[in-house]
Amino acid sequence: MARYMETLTVERGGFRIKVPESWWEFDVRPESRDDSIRRMVSERVGQRPELEQYRDVYVDFLRKAAADAWKSGAMYCGCMAESFGGDTPITGSVTVSLVGGRNERGESLSNDPSVIAGQLAVKEAKREGDSWRKVTTVDIPGVGPAARTHGIEDIEVPGDALNRTVRAVLMQTYIPVPGQEGKVALVAGSSQVLDLADSFFDIFDAITSTFRFTG
């Protein structure tokens, strides 16, 4: 993972964050995502001509994924897919979303890190191989305290009729948005490469530590 020393600064409406220079962006923005997805699929099909028959399937799937991500508040999604000599590529992603919530009375939920941390559930692994989750608060340099979860979790597949789940390394950091009651910037890092969980926790922590609000 030492190859990720070079970074790229990404700026979106209201924030910036640094990601490894070798990562690529999965564009979720409505004004540009369709063209971006078409170019991405065309590039991939150009490298693997046998995938041509699946071009429309890939485009439709990625368009839906991008639209769903945008609707859920995602503003940026950075991805990695690297081969280090093995048969299986090492993959991971970091998504930045602006989210908020309200209680049953329509009041904004608190975005105080200590309150959020108190509402997040800790999960202990009862036996080896079980999923687990830890809850902490961290200090983001230049930003302040934030609530965080990290662990090996079973994530529901969106829109899956069979309610299937995918097990993944997952870190989620809830950063209060200044001056916006109930709003948080959620920086979520995930990877399905469970054997490298500790390395990915370090990477996700390093990326999240570069998050800054702008404007």
Residue by residue, DSSP assigns 111-124 as --HHHHHHHSPPB-
Distance CA 161, CA 194 (A): 25
The predicted structure's pLDDT at residue 147: 98
The pTM is what? 0.86
Proportion of the chain above pLDDT 90, given as a percent:
57
Cβ-contact 148, 174 below 8 angstroms = yes
> Rounded mean pLDDT of 81-97?
81
> Rounded mean pLDDT of 173-198?
94
The predicted structure's pLDDT at residue 160: 72
Q: Which amino acid is at 1?
A: M
Name which residue leads in pLDDT, 62 or 130. Answer: 130
> Rounded mean pLDDT of 45-57?
88
Name which residue leads in pLDDT, 26 or 205. Answer: 205
The predicted structure's pLDDT at residue 86: 63
Question: Which of 108, 184, 100 lies closest to 145, judged by CA?
Answer: 184
Q: What is the mean pLDDT of the chain?
A: 89
- Which has the minimum average pLDDT: 30-34, 71-75, 101-105, 179-183? 101-105
Q: Are strands 24-25 and 15-20 parallel, antiparallel or unpaired?
A: unpaired
Q: Which of 16-20, 49-53, 104-108 has the highest mean pLDDT?
A: 16-20
Distance CA 213, CA 177 (A): 8
Question: Which of 135, 126, 148 lies closest to 208, judged by CA?
Answer: 148
C-alpha dihedral (20, 150, 202, 112), degrees to nearest 10: 80
Band of pLDDT at residue 106, cut at 50, 70 and 90: confident
Distance CA 117, CA 197 (A): 22
